[in-house]
Amino acid sequence: MSVRTAREVDKPRRRFVRAALPTALAALALALAGLVGVVPDSGAGPAPPKASTVARAGTWQQTPVPVEKGDITAVAALGEDRAWAIGYRLKGISELEPLALRWDGASWTQESTLPAGSFPQVLAVRSADDIWAAGMDTAHWDGRKWTTRTLQQDTAGRLYPDAMATGADGKVWLAGRAVPGSVKNGVPAIQSWDGTRWQKQTLPDVGKGELSSVVVVSSDDVWAAGATYATDDEAQTALLLHWDGTSWKKVAAPPSTGRAGTWFGAMTALGPDDVWAVGGATSEGSDRPFAAHWDGKRWQVTPTPDVADGRLRSVGRTKDGGLWAIGGKGNVSTALRWDRAARKWTKAPAPDVVVRASAVVPDTSALWTVGIAKKGDLVPRITRFTG
């Protein structure tokens, strides 16, 4: 699930952008300052309570998290008993500890802490000893320790990552935006890891915008998606870029009839002629789901239900062949499933969590969704769906 997978606007000027990390962290600091009576954590956090019930098929169930206060920002899975999540623990009024959690099939435990100041936002897992996390910088886990891997300096500004994917050839792709100082001036940016260092990719000039997803089909078939920002003359539009092994090119994104602005937030690739992208569109002053499919020749919009605040942040396929798209806005969470017979997206059970990211468990019909609780102050949540 490029949910982020382990494999692999009201007015025209409205922008759908994730706040650049400094902005997000400043907002988080304000939230933390508002917490009363927070006692600094010793570091390890409380031991997770034992699960008391067996997960019921067709439902989302909360799994205990060994973090009392904080946030879980990304998740990836390799199997039923192998999943990882990254995020933060609140250790005091304003001190955050970046950490990595591991699922062993029965419970989540803390596997490690990430380098201080890394503020991990995205995750890519190739194996238990080959894991990447990215935020203020990137870090690699070799099974024993995290090592910081500094991104190449970009003349367009600091790179703030929103997506990461790995290929069978060992290459790692990181997509986001280069920000020169103000989020509104960000431009799409991609870097790739060649085994030794990060290298900035040359992209076509698409103006101001961002990339929110990247997915690898093969070494010469990579897709990235996001949005170009609105201008005085044009609404925000979904953005698609493609790597053919030699260069990145812009590919025409399908328009959304009758809507003021569109964007893509996630992708998944099932084959070179079977790629899916999901995100959102603005309609009548509110966000609605937006989705499209690549058949090897062109992108076409796929019908979605009229769900208010239905921004989609992840998409992927389960073992039974079902496609899931998950997201939401604020306390509103959204889940859609692709109805193959009717050839349209329909509503599905949504996780009771402020969604940060989701992942499919390979070769199963199970999914993970991570984020924070809809009630309370920064209460981490990890929920699991068993199909």
pLDDT band at 228 (very low <50, low <70, confident <90, very high): very high
What 3 state SS string does 263-291 have? EEEEEEEEECCEEEEEEEEEECCEEEEEE
User: Is the pLDDT at 230 greater than 60, yes or no?
Assistant: yes
The tens digit of pLDDT for each residue in 256-274 reads 766 679 999 999 999 999 9
Sheet holding 299-301, edge to edge: 261-271, 274-283, 286-294, 299-301
For 21-33+65-386, give the CATH class: mainly beta
**Once rounded to an integer, what is the mean pLDDT over residues 359-387?**
95
- In sequence order, the β-bridge partners of residue 326 are 314, 335
What is the structure's pLDDT at 356?
96
Contact indicator for 203, 248 with CB cutoff of 8 Å: yes
Query: What 3-state DSSP class applies to 184?
Result: helix
Residue recorded with tokens 């990339």: 211
Q: Which residues of 22-61 are buried (b: 16+ CB within 10 A; e: fewer)?
A: eebbeebeeebeeeeebeebeeebeebeeeeeeeeeeebe
pLDDT averaged over every residue in the chain: 86
Closest CA to 301 of 325, 283, 318, 276: 276
Positive or negative torsion for Cα 137, 76, 350, 334:
positive
Say how far apart CA 189 and CA 255 lie, in whole Å. Answer: 23
